[in-house]
Structure 1
Amino acid sequence: MNLNLRNAIIHNVSGNTQDQLEDTIVDAIQNGEEKMLPGLGVLFEVIWKNSSEEEKKEMLTVLESGLK
């Protein structure tokens, strides 16, 4: 992924409220468009980098369960 795209995505959502962030995520998932996947990936990267080891393990458990 181009670093400029990553920075643009972060810039576009910086300062958003939790409700706005949720709307962005829900809209991207419901829309189902491939072009939204990089944005969701960047948001997940931010979540991952700012999570504790315990939170990461919990996310991995949820992910593993959802992929079964």
Structure 2
Amino acid sequence: MAQDLSEKELLRMEVEQLKKEVKNPRDPISKTGREIKDYVQAQAGADPLLQGVPEDKNPFKERGTCVIS
């Protein structure tokens, strides 16, 4: 699609996108970083990557062995 548009049209689209983006509310990284850290710490108890998966609920646990003779 972008190949079919002239340079002027592409620049117009870029300006329109930048106008939309400038209206988005921004928060300082000091605030959002703290919020992300607090969220991750609050969810750490239920995170299977940190706590592991209980053996009885692990769908990938080997059920048994196979012997070929």
User: What's the TM-score once normalised by structure 2's chain length?
Assistant: 0.30
Structure number with bigger Rg:
2
> Scaled by the length of structure 1, what TM-score is found?
0.31
| Structure holding more helix per residue | 1
